[in-house]
Amino acid sequence: MKRAPAELYTNVMNEVTFLIESLGEKTDDKEVLEQQNQAKKKLNGVYKELQSSLEHLEKNAEWDVFTIAFYGETNAGKSTLIETLRILLSEPTKIAERKKYLSSSQAINHSENRLRKFEEGLSQINISFQIKAEQVNEKLENAVSQIRKLIAESELEHWKVDILDPLIYEKRRSSLYNFILSFFNPMYEQKEMIKAKECIVQLETEISNTKQALDQTQQELIEINEKWQKKIEVVSLNISELQEILSNEDREILKYTDGKIVGDGRSDYTQTVGEYTFSYESQKFVILDLPGIEGREEIVINEINDAIERAHVVFYISGKAAPPQNGDVKSEGTIEKIKRHLSQHTEVYFVYNKRVKNPIQLKKSLISEDEKMALKEVDDILSKVLSEQYEGHKVLSAYPALLSVGNFWKDRFCRNQEKFIEQLGSKEIILEDSRVKYFSDWLRTSLVDESKSKIFKSNYRKIAVAIGHAQENISEIQKQFNSLEKKLKLNEKYANRQFDEESNMLIQNLDNEAIKIVGNFKNRLRKKMYAEIDEEIDTDSFKAMFVKERDIAIEITRQQLEAGMKDILKEFEEAINEIVSKNERYTDELLQSFEGSAKFDFEFEPIFNIKSSGSITGTIASLVTGVMGVILSFSNPVGWIMVALAVVGMIISVGKNILGFFNHGYRSSQQKKATDENIEHMANQLSESFRDSIKDVHDPLMKGIEGVKDNLSFKIKYVNSMNLVFQEAERKLKKLSWEIDQEGMDKPYGND
């Protein structure tokens, strides 16, 4: 039985806390205990990261609704595919949106019909005015023409008057007869003048009447124009109002067109996670539209991480039938991002969304043989990266599918929709060839089947992966410690070999020095005694001289022994200190190198301030002092006298030889022989005594060297202790991760 979601994260964190607190074997050794505690402190970084991860999972985990994340590259068509699925799967907000689109479309049609009627009415008004205006203008033109004609006729009559008047005057003046006759019988000129004047009056009357008619016609034209202007103003106002209504309705319908969530080609178009809820046969599920992972990831990384932690299935969308690329030293590649983001998931699919922008690209086969081979390579690579979590690939083309089902209004989609339909025949053909309908049907049935189990399996795996990531981090630390420990041990082995070599060299040098000193003792004493013997001394003098020279030689030998041994021990001490110095210097360099190079992508504090377990300098000084004490213990004069007394009897026996008393040559030879025998005897005893003393040096020397070695190996023991704690932590976390993963495989908590 699974744990309830409310308890799961707290229980797991408690288990991890207990695990870390229980690390290390029980010990009474304060130093070992301190090292274990130090290791646990250094685990705090990993512990805090795991705690943060579990808190994030607890915050973002979805336990009730099956959630699908559409994840992938920038401009891969995630939003295009989701928009199409919203339509095909009748997503509630999309249904409401499309209803509003239909309503807005109907309102626009109504407004366009009204506008068309007003525009037709305006056209009729203009035509009617034009006809009337033409008629009135014709009357005006006729009146003006008539007035001009009448004025011309009037001017002609006035001209006649002007011509006839002087002629009449001249005829009257020519004779009295003519003058009188003109009153009773008008002259021809007078008659013509009367006619002209009568005609002028008549013409002026006609001109006046015609002008009045012209004025009336002009007024009629003004009135017609005013009426037209008023009608135009009313209709134009209606048209303007309808145009404003249509403009508003155009803006309004754009709110409800499909494809608004689709990018326009700009990088990072989607910067927040879009969420869409679906329902099919009482099965509820959610699709998340994630920002692209190949744009400016730093501005969307939190959105991506939260959505990934929430999702139970991930579709990795790509516009290329090619494996995602690895990164380099400077930048993280798509493969690394996929591994980092998706390794915690139980179901991951690769969706090849083929880019089709031209109708001739849309074929029933959709992808070529080369693309099929490339997709097999994609499957191989993602299987290696995601293991059994990778479920394979799907092939589709979202853009034509969206054109086949979308409502668009006077935009690029609308133009492309017309082009696709014109060339391919129908929306149904476009949708079928795009394969999105098959994908949609599979998603709402097979994919969401047993969603409750998938939810639990996914959420449990995320916890197991978080713990596994912590275990991997600890493993990485442990590898560093292990590598450091191996290097330190190799250096220790080399240093120990040098210590052993120097210890053997010390014994050899002491032995050589003893041989040299004994040789010096023999040569000096023999030389002195031979010189005295050559002076032909008697036996008693010989004896006294031998004792005297023996004592002098012994003292000189003692002094030489002490000085020589001190020089040898000084060289030994310097050699040991040099080995220790090189060892510590190299060890410190290793530790500093570890501290400087052990860089992790999680919080971890490398080794700091590993103290030594004691004073190595003091240990070396004690070693040399102890060895010196053993070596010089036999330089005590008392010891030398005991050696010297062993030869007295031999010297006396020489004096008892009567023959030697009378024969000086024989006596001299016997004295030299006795001298040689006694010197050799003393030298043998001195050599034996020296060898015994040098043997006595071995144990304190080895004990002291071991003390130096122990002091130098303290840091190795420290690193080893840390290493063991991290090994134990890695093992326990690995086991806990496996247990959580297995628990997620069981039947869900509660009713399915």
CATH number, domain at 407? 3.40.50
Task: Answer yes or no: do 310 and 402 share one domain.
Answer: yes
- Neighbouring-strand partners of residue 274: 289
Q: Which domain holds residue 564?
A: 508-719
Q: β-strand 66-72 against 313-318: which pairing, if any? A: parallel
Are 210 and 291 in the same domain?
no
Q: Do 156 and 219 fall within a single domain?
A: yes
User: For residue 399, what pLDDT is reported?
Assistant: 95
Predicted pLDDT at 429: 92
Report the alpha-carbon distance of residue 625 to residue 631 in Å, rounded: 10
Assign residue 175 the CATH number of its domain.
1.10.287.1700
The three-state secondary structure class of 203 is helix
pLDDT at 245 (0 to 100): 92
Residues 245 and 292 in one domain: no
pLDDT tier at 182 (50, 70, 90 boundaries)?
A: low
What length is written for the chain? 752
Would you put residue 366 in left (φ > 0), alpha (ψ -120 to 50) or beta?
A: left
Does residue 385 sit in the same domain as residue 268?
Answer: yes
Residue 623: CB atoms within 10 A of its CB come to 24
Do the Cβ atoms of 433 and 35 come closer than 8 Å?
Answer: no
Percent of all residues in the chain with a pLDDT value above 90, rounded to a whole number: 20
Within a domain: 541 = yes
The predicted-structure confidence for 637-668, as pLDDT tens digits, reads as follows 444 444 444 444 444 444 444 444 446 678 78
Q: Please report which confidence band the pLDDT of residue 598 belongs to, taking 50, 70 and 90 as the band edges.
A: low
Last residue of some domain: 221, 254, 287? 254
Residues 237 and 271 in one domain: no
Residue 51 or 348, more confident:
348
* Greatest mean pLDDT among 109-113, 496-500, 617-621, 692-696: 109-113
Lowest mean pLDDT among 136-140, 595-599, 687-691: 595-599
Q: Do 219 and 271 belong together in one domain? A: no
pTM: 0.66
* pLDDT-derived band at 29, boundaries 50, 70, 90: low
**Could you read off the pLDDT of 212-250 as tens digits, one per residue?**
888 888 888 888 888 888 888 888 898 899 889 989 989
pLDDT digit string, tens, across residues 362-396: 877 899 999 999 999 999 999 998 888 899 999 99
Q: Residue 72: its pLDDT value, please?
A: 87
Is residue 598 one of the residues assigned to a domain?
yes
Report, as an integer, the average pLDDT of 321-349.
80
pLDDT per residue as tens digits for the range 423-448: 988 999 999 999 999 999 999 999 99
Using pLDDT thresholds of 50, 70 and 90, give the confidence band for residue 587.
confident
Q: Tell me what the mean pLDDT of segment 566-574 comes to.
A: 82
In 3-state terms, the chain is what percent helix, strand and coil (to 5)? 75, 5, 20
Q: Which run of H or E residues covers position 270? A: none
Give me the pLDDT at residue 752, please: 40
Mean pLDDT of the 497-523 span: 85
Number of domains comprising the chain: 3
Per the domain annotation, does 472 fall within a domain? no
**Angle at which helices 5-21 and 451-533 cross, to 10°:** 10
Q: Are residues 177 and 283 in the same domain?
A: no
Top-confidence range, 122-136, 204-218, 366-380: 366-380
The reported pLDDT for the residue numbered 95 is 94
Q: pLDDT value at position 51?
A: 84
Cα distance between residue 546 and residue 553, in whole Å: 10
pLDDT at 60 over 90: no
Q: Which one has a higher pLDDT value, 280 or 601?
A: 280
> Would you state the pLDDT for residue 693?
78
**pLDDT band, residue 275 (cuts 50/70/90):** very high
pLDDT of 427 reads: 93
Q: Give me the pLDDT at residue 13, please.
A: 81
> What's residue 557's pLDDT?
86
Provide the angle, in degrees to the nearest 10, between the axes of the packed helices 664-712 and 539-597.
20
For residue 742, is it within any domain?
A: no
Q: What pLDDT does residue 594 have? A: 67
Give the domain-ending residue among 233, 254, 275.
254
- Verify that 246 and 313 share a domain, yes or no: no
Rounded to an integer, the average pLDDT of 8-27 is 74
Instruction: Compute the Cα dihedral for 7, 8, 13, 15 and give only its sign.
Output: positive
Pairwise CA distance, residues 517 & 510, whole Å: 10
Does residue 13 belong to any structural domain of this protein?
no
In this predicted structure, what is the pLDDT of residue 648? 42
One domain for residues 213 and 313 = no
Per-residue pLDDT tens over the stretch 666-678: 878 888 898 888 9
Nearest CA-CA partner of 411 in 422, 402, 401, 424: 402
Among all chains, which residue has been given the structure tokens 């995320």? 462
Burial class (CB in 10 A: 0-12, 13-18, 19+), 222: exposed
pLDDT of residue 642: 46
pLDDT over threshold 50, residue 349? yes
pLDDT (0 to 100) of residue 118: 85
125/144 same-domain check: yes
Instruction: Quote the mean pLDDT of the chain.
Output: 81
580 in any annotated domain: yes
CA distance 73 to 90: 26
Considering the domain boundaries, does residue 79 fall inside one? Answer: no
Q: Which of 426, 447, 468 is the last residue of a domain?
A: 447
Is the same domain home to 249 and 267? no
Instruction: Tell me whether residue 100 is in a domain.
Output: no
